[in-house]
Structure 1
Amino acid sequence: MNDFNCNKFLENNWYYVSTAQTLKALEIYARDIDFLIPFWYGITDKGTLVDQSQFEALLIARRNKLPIIPIVHNFSNPKMAGLIHEVLTSPNIRQKLIFSIETLLLTQNYAGVNIDFEFVPPEDRYYVNTFMEELYHRLSPGFRVTISVPAQVEDNPHHPFSGAFDYNTISRFSDELYILAYDEHFSTPGPVASIGFVRRVVDYAITKIPRHKIKLGMAVYGYDWVETGGMPRTLSFQSAVNLARKYGATITYDDEVQESTFTYIADGVRHIVWFEDSRSFSAKLDLAICYNLGGIGVWRLGLEDPEVWGVIRKKLV
């Protein structure tokens, strides 16, 4: 692919979680972001919303004229799968939730909404489609209707995590789909998002979704696995670098997968770390640019290598 055909005008959008570290990053980089996507509103079994917004972040965003597309999610309840099933399959609760979202957007002057429903039972695929259709007809064109969806390389309606998400149908009732092209490895050590994995995800997505509607979900974090097994610990870029320095580990950039890695020994146990840095970010940004996608959605602000901002300023118009 050559630069002449590449879209350098794609949006640079960032996910946000309310922490002191993230708030500090927002203060520094607000003017470099096109849309902020904060993890702020949980759903209830009555179709109402739990307000988890951060007043200080709202002030910074508004002072910098940074538009906000808040996330509406099902993480406010420990029974996430049961909750989302109950909400999606009930016409009355669905309508109440849509009304709650519309009221929120109007009263807070938000630019739109990002739907982030996870652990949706695959048998509820029809109801995800129905909800997005009803939401889109209620909110569009006044607000952006967007959704975060799991990465897929094929359509498998029975997949326990991604089966409920029908790219083709959802794209008809969404302005943007944020495809979360990361967590390639989680239960076992490996790259957070190898370039080959991301390319396969995008290659499939463009067969189902118009390119301008695709926002490529990009990671800027890392994972630390214990070799003996178990779930990994999440690391920011800086904590990964500090960890390598603490244990005298050598960081290696794997050119094949386009990601950084190292190992270390702590208390006699070997650890394996993979993490994203500005070089791996640049490789994935190039892919988004030259696939002519609509933009990127980065998880999440405050975890990144500070040098990614230089990459963004250099590569995006």
Structure 2
Amino acid sequence: MNYHIFRKTVAVFLIALFAVPATMSAQTSTAIEVSGWIPYWRSEKGVESVVPQLGSFTEINPFMYTVKLDGTLNQAGKITDAEWVTLKSAAKAQGVRFVPTVMWSNSDAIDEVLKDPVQRQKHIQSIASEVFRYNYDGIDIDYEGKYARTRPHFSLFLKELNDAIGYNKWVMCTIEARTPLDARYSSTESIPTDIEYANDFKEISTYCDRVRFMTYDQGRIDLKLNAAKGQSEPYIPVADTEWVEKAIRLAMQEIPKEKIMIGVATYGYEHDMFPSTTGSGKMAYSQLWAFNPGYATDIATKLGIAPVRGNSGELILTFPASKSPEPVIPLPNATRVLSWSDAEAIKQKADLAARLGVRGISIFKIDGGQDPNLWGVLAQYKGSEPRVATKPISLVLAQTDTASPVTPAAPVASVKVPTKNFEMGALGEDVRTLQKYLNAKGYQVAKTGAGSPGNETTKFGAATKAALIKFQTANKITPAKGYFGPVTRAKMQAQ
């Protein structure tokens, strides 16, 4: 998500000039899911702005965790801080999913940790511990800049993470958008024949409940749109809806549309535009920085000029770089170009989500600096059904082919009981012993295959946890959360 670039403070908005048309708020739109990320570096402002608007959200994602070199988690934003406590409580009260994000962009560290089975399990345990300790509704995985060689290891990580927490916790995945090759290259002949990707869409869709595409930071990647739209006006958008549609349609070829979320931005970029030094006669762009909408509208007021709606669907503002109020030495003869995503640009993506039939939109970012007209837009897409934050357990049970408890055909004289304490994600012979006990006592781990009677394994996955919870529930052990400890052990030994 390139989250490091968004720390520039911005504050002023032109309310009348850029207000969303009144007809927009009166329109009734198709209900879609809406999620939003709140960055830890502006957590107080973000929480303050989003709490009154939670009724328009299905899920909220605190940008909270980073990853250490050894694969363990670091709370960049403390869950015990007052604003996060407030947000978590408000989300729970309104049935909004509270799903923190784990951010990781160290390509080498990601590869090293995920390819090593021991380190990978340690990483998964670190995530699972936080999810269950703080009773999150799930976790959002945002691992960016991965190598192509990391692809199979990342897929295996998602599978094992789903095994560890997917039984009743949401596993959300945030990944880069993929531009169709015929839009990235000037001709069919110029497309490399050995292209490899870092993300396996099919594997990701198998293990993730939602797949959020970062369909922003488009820039100049789409050569076709550059040529078609960049002749009459500056064209270097955060996200043209036409480009977004291309990327999402490509993803829909491998990922069920009901899992897809379209990422939408609430910010913009400032560039210097100048004649290319290659002699091509085309314009070149040099990116300066990212900004929130209030920064651009403030400049518009100071210079006495009005932004216009560009052919990308975003607002753009252009003026001679020499007139910029920013204390930056401009390039000679450069034109300053600001392009940003306001409420109308976001509405275009929400309408696209409804038209394509995908799950919804994911907003990056909510930090108090977004277009204030955003809330009126989101209110149009609210569903009428009650929201439920907790992931239904039955969905996972059906996928793991776990049966309800059955009465064993005959009493079992002696069945061993595990001697150690452990939980989801554990490996070893004690897990096999637990599975044998559960199968023997009628709480089948699985009907057939791994975990079934005679095919017990050494891995404590979702099916084992489901069977253990059934045993605990039947024996009135509380809390019945699938943790094997002294209370459960004593109950088994007494039978």
User: How much has 1:157 moved relative to structure 2?
Assistant: 10
Partner in structure 2 of residue 3 of structure 1: none
Bigger CA drift: 8-17 or 20-29?
Answer: 20-29
The residue type paired with residue 113 of structure 2 is V
Once the two structures are superposed, the pairs formed by residues 191-270 of structure 1 within 5 Å of their partners are 191-227=237-273, 229-254=285-310, 256-267=311-322, 269=330, 270=335
- The DSSP-based 3-state class of the residue aligned with 2:150 is helix
1:61-85 deviation per Cα after TM superposition (whole angstroms, max 9, x unaligned): 133124311111225xxxx111111
- The DSSP-based 3-state class of the residue aligned with 1:185 is coil
User: How much has 1:235 moved relative to structure 2?
Assistant: 1.2
1:230-285 deviation per Cα after TM superposition (whole angstroms, max 9, x unaligned): 4331111222211222222321102x421111112343543111111111111111
User: How much has 1:215 moved relative to structure 2?
Assistant: 1.0
Greater Rg over alpha carbons, structure:
2
Quick one: structure 1 residues 292 and 58, their matched pair in 2 at CA, closer, same or farther if it must change by over 3 Å? same
d(CA) in 1 for partners of 2:195 and 2:124?
Answer: 27
Structure 2 stretches of 5 or more lacking a match? 1-27, 182-191, 222-233, 275-284, 324-329, 384-495
Would you say 1:14 and 2:44 are equivalent positions?
no
- The DSSP-based 3-state class of the residue aligned with 1:191 is coil
d(CA) in 2 for partners of 1:56 and 1:8?
Answer: 35
Quick one: structure 1 residues 48 and 239, their matched pair in 2 at CA, closer, same or farther if it must change by over 3 Å? same
Do the aligned partners of 1:70 and 1:113 also contact (CA within 8 Å) in 2? yes
Residue 40 (structure 1) aligned to one of 64, 78, 83: 64
Structure 1 stretches of 5 or more lacking a match? 1-5
Quick one: structure 1 residues 139 and 29, their matched pair in 2 at CA, closer, same or farther if it must change by over 3 Å? same
1:5-37 deviation per Cα after TM superposition (whole angstroms, max 9, x unaligned): x99332110011021432331343334322111
Partner in structure 1 of residue 351 of structure 2: 286
d(CA) in 2 for partners of 1:157 and 1:218?
Answer: 31
1:214-242 deviation per Cα after TM superposition (whole angstroms, max 9, x unaligned): 11111111111122554331111222211
Would you say 1:90 and 2:116 are equivalent positions?
yes
d(CA) in 2 for partners of 1:267 and 1:24?
Answer: 37
Would you say 1:298 and 2:363 are equivalent positions?
yes
d(CA) in 1 for partners of 2:314 and 2:133?
Answer: 42
Do the aligned partners of 1:189 and 1:225 also contact (CA within 8 Å) in 2? no
- The DSSP-based 3-state class of the residue aligned with 1:231 is strand
Once the two structures are superposed, the pairs formed by residues 129-148 of structure 1 within 5 Å of their partners are 129-148=155-174
Bigger CA drift: 210-219 or 50-59?
Answer: 50-59
TM-score (norm 1): 0.89
Do the aligned partners of 1:42 and 1:50 also contact (CA within 8 Å) in 2? yes
Bigger CA drift: 307-316 or 86-95?
Answer: 307-316
Do the aligned partners of 2:180 and 2:246 also contact (CA within 8 Å) in 1? no
Would you say 1:168 and 2:202 are equivalent positions?
yes
- The DSSP-based 3-state class of the residue aligned with 1:104 is helix
Do the aligned partners of 2:29 and 2:381 also contact (CA within 8 Å) in 1? no
Partner in structure 1 of residue 104 of structure 2: 74
d(CA) in 1 for partners of 2:130 and 2:212?
Answer: 21
User: How much has 1:191 moved relative to structure 2?
Assistant: 1.0
Quick one: structure 1 residues 282 and 91, their matched pair in 2 at CA, closer, same or farther if it must change by over 3 Å? same
- The DSSP-based 3-state class of the residue aligned with 2:375 is helix
- The DSSP-based 3-state class of the residue aligned with 1:47 is coil
d(CA) in 2 for partners of 1:154 and 1:288?
Answer: 19
Do the aligned partners of 2:36 and 2:61 also contact (CA within 8 Å) in 1? yes
TM-score (norm 2): 0.58
Residue 379 (structure 2) aligned to one of 289, 305, 313: 313
d(CA) in 1 for partners of 2:51 and 2:377?
Answer: 19
d(CA) in 1 for partners of 2:113 and 2:258?
Answer: 30
Higher strand share: 1
d(CA) in 2 for partners of 1:200 and 1:281?
Answer: 17
Quick one: structure 1 residues 276 and 200, their matched pair in 2 at CA, closer, same or farther if it must change by over 3 Å? same
Quick one: structure 1 residues 7 and 169, their matched pair in 2 at CA, closer, same or farther if it must change by over 3 Å? farther
Residue 148 (structure 2) aligned to one of 97, 122, 145: 122
User: How much has 1:159 moved relative to structure 2?
Assistant: 5.9
Would you say 1:275 and 2:340 are equivalent positions?
yes
Do the aligned partners of 1:61 and 1:67 also contact (CA within 8 Å) in 2? no
